[in-house]
Structure 1
Amino acid sequence: MTTERRMPAPTADERTMLEGWLEFHRQTLAWKCEGLSDEQLRSASAEPSELSLMGLVRHMADVERNWFRRVLANEDAAPLYFSDEDLDGEFHLTEADTYREAHATWQAEIEAARRNAARFGLDDLTEGKHRRTGERFNLRWLYTHMIEEYARHNGHADLIRERIDGSTGD
């Protein structure tokens, strides 16, 4: 499977632009994981970090779930890979963890995010609140934050992928 990345049109309206850049960054993370074995996808970037490509995919599944299900739509959606006892659980991988499962879970959360976001206007406030601060956000803020979150982690993914097999690219 080859991930096709598409940049949004340079003259798109605001919502299309925000959704387009979020999709581009989602596709970029998938692209960085292509063609690697589960073992490679589980391999940590550099000691003492536990950061791995599979861990990043699992992390982003939880991030999508948090912002678009718990905060935006006020759904009762428990974390997938971490807990209060293991706040970095998405990065604590075992040989039983597979990319197939992580990718499928991540894609399911992306689909839920798209469905939930479609019900809101950019200025509409979230139905739920941030679990620590109690703040509500508009959809524009969520989109911008998610673009930032993916961009940051895609930078990590660039370095991890280069360390694994020398592959580089934007």
Structure 2
Amino acid sequence: MTWRAPEITRKNEPYVGDERTMLEGWLDFHRQTLLLKCAGLTAEQLKTASVEPSGLTLLGLVRHMADVERSWFRQRAAGEQLPDLYDYTTDRDADFHDLADADAEAALATLQAEIDAARTAATDRSLEDTFELPRGDRTATISLRWVYLHMIEEYARHNGHADLIRERLDGVTGD
């Protein structure tokens, strides 16, 4: 039997709530949207590029977002000493590349594990908590609130890519 990405039931974003509830709800909505774009596809479909010359794939987006979850919530905001998920020393887009032998099922499990770990890392932190991050020739002070907003933006942008890739693969569209 051919493996397929699991079906998911996406929950609506919250319509009312305090700031934290709204940020977490919208981020979860966008996390689930990426998984929804992958649902029902085979590993080969997840590895199929959108259209030449782009090499962008749904599996590349899944791998990228797993590393982004780890980077912003765990490594930066929580200060956990963790390696990156992919080796960026020779390829700054390693998460998007070398997918031929990549395990799609494992990549989706890694994304879910990083989402769960990101939630845990943020749970006891205030939205006002900050960390320092080198940005070019200066150091920026960044709040956990900013991380939530950035992650919503990151997922929203990539979910647009995912929507186009999915439509190209099998004609499925939707929000």
Length-normalised TM-score, structure 1: 0.93
Between the aligned partners of 2:134 and 2:84, the Cα distance in structure 1 is 12
Q: How big is the shift at 1:100?
A: 0.8
Between the aligned partners of 1:119 and 1:149, the Cα distance in structure 2 is 23
* 8 A contact 1:42–1:93 mirrored in 2: no
Q: Segments of 4+ in structure 1 off by > 6 A?
A: none
Q: Which of the residues 80, 85, 102 maps onto 1:75?
A: 80
Task: Using the TM superposition, name which of 78-87 and 106-115 deviates more.
Answer: 78-87
Q: Which of the residues 149, 153, 159 maps onto 1:148?
A: 153
Match of 2:133 in 1: 130
Identity among equivalent pairs (%): 57
* 8 A contact 1:8–1:16 mirrored in 2: no
Between the aligned partners of 2:44 and 2:134, the Cα distance in structure 1 is 34
CA-based RMSD: 1.3
Matching of residues 1-170 of structure 1 within 5 Å: 1-126=6-131, 129-133=132-136, 134-170=139-175
Task: Using the TM superposition, name which of 74-83 and 13-22 deviates more.
Answer: 74-83
> Counterpart of 1:71 in structure 2: which amino acid?
R
* 8 A contact 2:8–2:36 mirrored in 1: yes
Give the direction of change, closer, same or farther, for the CA distance of 1:141–1:24 in structure 2 (3 Å limit). same
Q: C-alpha offsets along residues 135-169 of structure 1, whole Å, 9 cap, x if unaligned? A: 23111111000000000000000000000000000
Between the aligned partners of 2:83 and 2:54, the Cα distance in structure 1 is 26
In structure 2, stretches of 5+ residues that fail to align are 1-5
The structure with more strand, counted as a fraction of residues = 2
> Counterpart of 1:130 in structure 2: which amino acid?
L
Length-normalised TM-score, structure 2: 0.91
* 8 A contact 1:54–1:99 mirrored in 2: yes
Question: What SS does the aligned partner of 2:84 have?
Answer: coil
In structure 1, stretches of 5+ residues that fail to align are none
Q: How big is the shift at 1:31?
A: 0.5
Task: Using the TM superposition, name which of 129-138 and 46-55 deviates more.
Answer: 129-138
Question: What SS does the aligned partner of 1:49 have?
Answer: coil
Question: Number of residue pairs matched?
Answer: 168
